[in-house]
Structure 1
Amino acid sequence: MTKTILCCGEALIDFVPVALREEGAGYRPCPGGSPYNVARALGRLDVPTGFLGGISADFFGETLVEGLRESGVDTRWVERRRAPSTLGFVSLDTAEPDYAFYDAQAADRAWTNVPDETALRDVGCLHFGSISLIREPAAAAYETLLHREARGARLVTFDPNIRPSLVVDEAAYRDRMARILARADIVKISAADLDWLHPGLAPDAVAERWLGQGAALVAVTFGERGVAGFARGRRLSIDAIPTTVVDTVGAGDSFMAGLLAGLHDQGLLDRAGLDGADESALAAALTLGQRVASATCKRRGADAPRRAVL
């Protein structure tokens, strides 16, 4: 039986800027949150996928749960809570999207219900990242789960997806990132996030450090300049796929989903498969990531394509 990829973290409502017919601009609410986006994109690529985290019982929460279900994502690990949904407002006025979050007492931030081994019996890979590893108490709970599963029977994948404006205790957050990066099997990171973590260091040098700590694959995304993939003794460069960009919200999450889907398609989503993967197999997975990201950029919000469209 094909094992499930379980995406662990926040589910929220992104308010994305739109032009109004009348003078001025407004915001369109879109389901979002990095791990949530990865889960929906994977489901649309026909990969067995689940989502783990807290989701509000309010009407925004209903939208979030329906978004998972219509994308084919298993919601058995979702905990519905009588607490508000996190709201995130997105600015697209800079090269990288900028965010303002409103999340006091929010359902996803308050989640702490770490599943036991029995609850994860159908899971073969756990994906973590983004603001769910900043906001307490959920952040500590997700890190506990990650470390319990790391280097065990399940793969751990990680995309820091850093939001510096949310980081209050930078030293503690950097320590958490270092602990997780030393335990992840697959790391996907944007060039901007890598520079925030290790300013001035070349991506190749940082990737080699993480590989030396135990990672099997590191992917560094450079937007329109493509992606670099690193495995032991190998460096791959994959060009970006030109597209008409509507916005870049969710592009990195779509790349992550495409990369995991490409590895899944080839039967490589376990440690033995990753360690034995040849260059052509890794290139195919990285290329699928680029295709999914490119297609997402054509759409407003984090609205990944279905496999049939690709």
Structure 2
Amino acid sequence: MFLICGEALFDVFIDPIETDTPDDPITVMRAVAGGSPYNVAVGLARLGRAAALCTEISPDRLGKRLEAALVKEGVDLSFIRRASGATPLALVDVDPTGLPHYGFHGLRQMCLHPVAATFEAERERITGIHVGSFPIVSERSAEKLLKLVEGAGDRIVSLDPNIRLAVEPDTLLWRAQVDRFRVHAHLIKTSVEDLEAIYGVDIDAEAIARSWVGGKTKLVVLTRGERGGVLFAGDGERIEIEAIPTIVVDTVGAGDTYQAALLCWLDEAGLAHPDALAGLSHAQLEEMARFAGHAAALTCARRGPDLPRRAELQTVRAANDVPRANAPVGHLTARASAL
């Protein structure tokens, strides 16, 4: 079972409706369960893998909807904390290219690390731990999560920095925390947008991602929007990841889909173990990247973070399984992730 640590919230989409008076449009708000860790947990469950979400859920109406959705998806609730405050919200404004822009409310007070007694009781069921985004800079949870991944032992640890400056604008803090967490991660997925957000737009994103390989870190996937991505492995191996053309509705949840699909592929292949990552062949790495790319493309073809189910990927190698367009689009980037 994969333990996913982080926030569950509602993405509130702001949808303007055209009226007869263009200067006075009607705005409709549509709430969809989300949050990057929530999406990864649901994505794994939909792909047929066991996943638990460690988060806080409020007793209000939205919190009850979140819990009901997790139950319906088959996500394990053993690590859920009961919150006293309101359910957090992410206001999502999707631009004409399908990229989301976020504003966050109510995240800072959340506890997003496991209760120690619960973790000890469930330890034997956990084969992997995933962390990233706001929890790694959270005053309440970052240190506890760092201790968790430091002591992961033979469990695979994955990290998606998923930078959200709208929640925490301190780029130096993000840089420091990413460096503290990444050395304990066996698999890292990041994006050019993530790295530019905390290091500046003039950086060499590939050089930074490549430098993260070493020690415990065996694989680093860097997504580059419409240019696809690149995977770095041990011994200097570099694999180009072609962007899969798709008709984009929006890119919300695409990065989370990619993350869930990477873990799914490894688990299905019996390779979700730190020692196994170092031994993956070139062909296996390419196959894993294609699987994740097709999954992300399916999410981009639908509105909101509607992650695909395993049955939809049974024929993933056939190009006709994914809605096509004449040019590739940026559905592989982690900026598509919903927080």
TM exceeds 0.5?
yes
Output the CA distance in 2 between the equivalents of 1:122 and 1:112: 17
Q: Where does residue 36 of structure 1 map in the other structure? A: 38
Per the alignment, residue 53 of structure 2 pairs with 51
Matches within 5 A, 1:81-160: 81-93=83-95, 96-103=99-106, 106=109, 109-111=110-112, 113-115=114-116, 116-149=119-152, 152-160=153-161
Q: Could you tell me which residue of structure 1 aligns to residue 197 of structure 2?
A: 196
Deviations 1:89-141 (A, max 9, x none): 012227642211110675xx134543343322200100001122233313333
1:227-284, Cα deviation, whole Å (9 max, x unpaired): 2111013111121221111111111001111111111121110012111111111111
CA distance in 2, matches of 1:7, 1:20: 37
- In terms of mean alpha carbon deviation, does 46-55 or 207-216 score higher? 207-216
Any idea what SS the aligned residue of 1:167 has? coil
Q: What is the letter of the counterpart of residue 6 of structure 1? A: L
Q: Structure 1 CA distance, aligned partners of 2:220 and 2:112?
A: 29
Higher relative contact order, chain-length normalized (CA < 8 Å, sep 6+) = 2
Residue in structure 1 matched with residue 163 of structure 2 by the alignment: 162
1:81 deviates by 2.1
- Contact (CA 8 Å) 1:114, 1:142: kept in 2 or not? no
Task: State the distance in 2 between where 1:166 and 1:130 align.
Answer: 10
Gaps of 5+ in 1: none
CA–CA distance in structure 2, aligned partners of residues 213 and 290 of structure 1: 27
Alignment equivalent of 1:17, drawn from 2, 14, 18 = 14
* Superposition map of 1:181-260 within 5 A: 181-199=182-200, 200-232=202-234, 233-260=236-263
Of 7-16 and 54-63, more deviation after overlay is shown by 54-63
> Who is 2:277 aligned against?
274
Q: Which amino acid aligns with 2:162?
A: N
Alignment-derived partner of residue 332 in structure 2: none
Give the Å deviation of 1:213.
4.2
Q: Are the aligned partners of 1:190 and 1:252 in contact in 2 as well (CA < 8 Å)?
A: no
Aligned residues: 303
Unaligned runs of 5+ in 2: 20-24, 314-339
Give the letter for the 2:121 counterpart. Answer: T
- Measured on the aligned residues, the alpha-carbon RMSD in Å equals 2.0
Is residue 209–residue 220 contact of structure 2 (8 Å, CA) maintained in 1?
A: yes
SS at match of 1:100: strand
Please tell me the residue identity of whatever aligns with 1:188: K
Quick one: distance in 1 between partners of 2:40 and 2:4?
7
Paired letter, 1:103: G
Larger Rg computed on CA atoms? 2
Cα shift readout 1:16-37 (whole Å, capped 9, x = no counterpart)? 2334475433221011110110
2-side partners of 1:169 and 1:196: how far apart?
Answer: 10
C-alpha distance after superposition, 1:156-206 (max 9, x if no partner): 100010011222443333211111112211000011002223333323321
Contact 1:236-1:283 within 8 A present in 2 as well: yes
The runs of at least 4 aligned residues of structure 1 exceeding 4 Å deviation read: none
- Report whether the alignment pairs 1:5 with 2:7: no
SS of the counterpart of 1:309? helix
CA distance in 2 between partners of 1:132 and 1:304 (Å): 22
Q: How does the TM-score come out when normalised to structure 1?
A: 0.91
Question: What is the alpha-carbon distance in structure 2 between the residues aligned to residue 208 and residue 143 of structure 1?
Answer: 22
Give the deviation of 1:153 after TM superposition.
Answer: 1.7
In the aligned structure 1, how far is the partner of 2:13 from the partner of 2:82?
25
Question: Structure 2 length as normaliser, TM-score?
Answer: 0.83
Cα separation, 1, equivalents of 2:92 and 2:137: 18
Other structure's SS at 1:212 match:
coil
How many angstroms apart in 1 are the aligned matches of 2:209 and 2:218?
A: 10
| Distance change (3 Å), C-alpha of 1:206 and 1:169 | closer
User: Which residue identity is paired with 1:15?
Assistant: V
Structure 2 letter corresponding to 1:129: G
Does the 8 Å contact 1:262/1:286 carry over to 2? no
